[in-house]
Amino acid sequence: MKTIKVKIGEGYNIYIDRGGLIKFNNYFVQEEPRKALVITNSKVWWLYGEWFINNIRGGFSSVQTLILPDGERYKNLKSVEKGYTVLVENKFTRSDCIINLGGGVICDTGGYIASTYMRGIDFYQAPTTLLAQVDASIGGKVAVNLPQGKNLVGTFYQPKGVLIDVNIHATLPKREFSSGLAEIVKAAIIDGEGFFSLLEKDKIPLITLIEKAIRLKAKIVKIDEKDKNIRKVLNLGHTFAHAIETVTNYKKYLHGEAVAIGIIYSIKLGEALGITEPHLKDKVESVLKKFKLPIKLKGINLEDLIPYFYIDKKATTNSLSFIIPVRIGEVKEYKNISIETLGGILK
């Protein structure tokens, strides 16, 4: 078992364990009787839902459930309203809490509900996908999508704790597992050669990669909780990825797949600007291919992505901004990127 402390505000712990879900009440002992709302999706409910609730029931005065449909397109304000309805109907107060049991969509949606209901109630993350374990469940960025773009409505709101069960990967589809590896590749590019070289080895200790990705994010979030400065580097690949997901209505690519493609386009943009180290693209593509991740878009008019760059959260009224890797271990934000330059790499 590993424990990572996130030192923001009151602080909270991230626990990495094998079979950890069954120990939820041991890790997060409730000081006073309180209600809990477990938010999950239909797929996770079928796999773990009733089992999880039976295991945590003894730690709470009552446990309610909200089961949302599975998929990125349900990360929206309609799902948020469903959450509010359950909370109000069951007389939840500020002393009660939410537990998010699911992937990135559930972690983001449930976190946003918690951050806004009665101006904020406690919530815990129990991520069930690799991608959510190394990214969405950590750092306190919670949000939902609008038809016009991804994560346009959200807050910064830290969980009370995160519990990562490594054994849960056994039930993940291969494509979903690979999607999570994209966020680990992103973290390794940011962190440096020591981390990235692990990805190039034949046998990868997954729990080590998970821990290293989480420690990197926890360190960065501690320095820049509100995404004003260094935290922006964690968006590597995401400006392209969010545009790809929106253009395809969240149906063609999983989030990690879109991030993998976005990382390659970020490198291509760096090459066009003359700032990215030669051969970096080959090095990164090799690892992405090894993890069965896509490296190019198919069946999309690439220039259709451009309007969505303007609603990226780093953009300003007159300036497009992208996170670009210079080399492994050096990633920077570059502003005032011209449409002509973008058009050149999107051909």
Determine the pLDDT at residue 58: 95
Residue (of 137, 134, 148) closest to 114 by Cα position:
137
Residue (of 26, 24, 6) closest to 63 by Cα position:
24
d(CA 224, CA 211): 20
Determine the pLDDT at residue 347: 67
d(CA 165, CA 224): 27
pLDDT band at 302; cut points 50, 70, 90: confident
On the question of pLDDT at 313 being above 70, the answer is no
Per-residue pLDDT tens digits for 101-114:
999 999 999 999 99
Instruction: Supply the pTM of this predicted model.
Output: 0.92
Q: What CATH class is the domain 2-171?
A: alpha beta
Whether the CB-CB separation of 224 and 231 falls below 8 Å is answered with yes
Higher pLDDT, 340 or 42: 42
- Beta bridge partners of residue 63, listed in sequence order: 36
> Could you tell me which residues come within 8 angstroms of residue 282 by beta carbon, excluding any fewer than 6 positions away?
none
Sign of the Cα pseudo-torsion (78, 52, 12, 186, in order): negative
> Could you tell me which residues come within 8 angstroms of residue 220 by beta carbon, excluding any fewer than 6 positions away?
230, 231, 233, 234
Average pLDDT, whole number, for the chain? 93
Percentage of the residues of the chain whose pLDDT score is greater than 90: 80
Q: Which residue ranges make up each domain of the chain?
A: 2-171, 174-345
Whether the CB-CB separation of 307 and 242 falls below 8 Å is answered with no
Per-residue pLDDT tens digits for 240-260:
999 999 999 999 999 999 999
Per-residue pLDDT tens digits for 139-157:
999 999 999 889 999 999 9
Give mean pLDDT, residues 25-32: 94
On the question of pLDDT at 312 being above 80, the answer is no
Percentage of the residues of the chain whose pLDDT score is greater than 70: 98
Question: What are the tokens at 240?
Answer: 């392209």
Determine the pLDDT at residue 117: 98
On the question of pLDDT at 316 being above 80, the answer is no
Determine the pLDDT at residue 318: 65
Determine the pLDDT at residue 269: 94
Q: Which residue has the tokens 């999950």?
A: 40
Q: What CATH class is the domain 174-345?
A: mainly alpha
